[in-house]
Amino acid sequence: MSSEILISSLYVFALAAFLGYQVISRVPPLLHTPLMSATNAISAISVVGAIVTAGAQHNNVAKTLGLIAVTSAMINVVGGFMITDRMLKMFKEKIGGGRDSGAKEEKHQ
């Protein structure tokens, strides 16, 4: 039983590693900061482990640790996605448009 779980987990890990390499090597350096905050937000999925730890009726030590874990993971979930969006909103290809063509015309005179 346990070795089956381990093997299937290793499959998932290997495939995710391959996929991660493919997807992330295509992110341009322009977006490396948002990439870092985005992957940080995504890996805060450990909140699901923390939720079960905090909510299951184990004992007080485990529950307290779970509470702190839920809190810090949620900081990353909410903060991570919000700050990533705030950054991505700022990236614009051209501002106002037309300025570049205007500049070129002036230069030719």
Partner 1 sequence: MKDGYFIELTYLLASVLFVFGLKGLSNPKTARRGMNLAAAGMLAAIVGTLLHHEILSYELIIIGMIIGSLIGAAMSIWMPMTAMPQRTALSHAFGALAASLVGISEYYRHAVDLGETLPAYKMTALGFEVLFGSLTVTGSLIAFAKLQEMMRGTPFTYKGQNIINISLFALAAGIFIYLIFVPTASSLFYVMVGLSFLFGVLLVMPIGSADMPVVMSLMNSYAGLASAATGFAIGNNVLIIAGTLDGFSGFILSILMCRAMNRSITNVLFGAFGAPATDTGALIEGVMREVAPDDVAVQLAYARQVVFVPGYGMATAQAQHAVRELADVLEHRGVIVKYAIHPVAGRMPGHMNVLLAEANVPYSSLYEMEQINPEMNATDVAVVIGANDVVNPDARDNPKSPIAGMPIIEVDRAQSVVVLKRGKGKGFSGLENPLFYKTNTGMLYGDAKSSLTRLAQAVQQT
Q: Segment 4-23, which members bind partner 1 (CB under 8 A)?
A: 5-6, 9, 12-13, 16-17, 19-21, 23
Name every residue whose Cβ is closer than 8 Å to that of residue 81 and which is 6 or more positions away in sequence: 38, 41
Does 98 sit near partner 1 (CB under 8 A)? no
Binders of partner 1 among 49-68, rule CB under 8 A?
Answer: 49-59, 61-63, 65-68
Q: Tell the smallest beta-carbon distance from residue 97 to partner 1 (Å).
A: 10
Q: Tell the smallest beta-carbon distance from residue 10 to partner 1 (Å).
A: 8
Distances (CA, A) of 60 to 56, 67, 73, 84: 10, 10, 20, 35
* DSSP one-letter code for 28: -
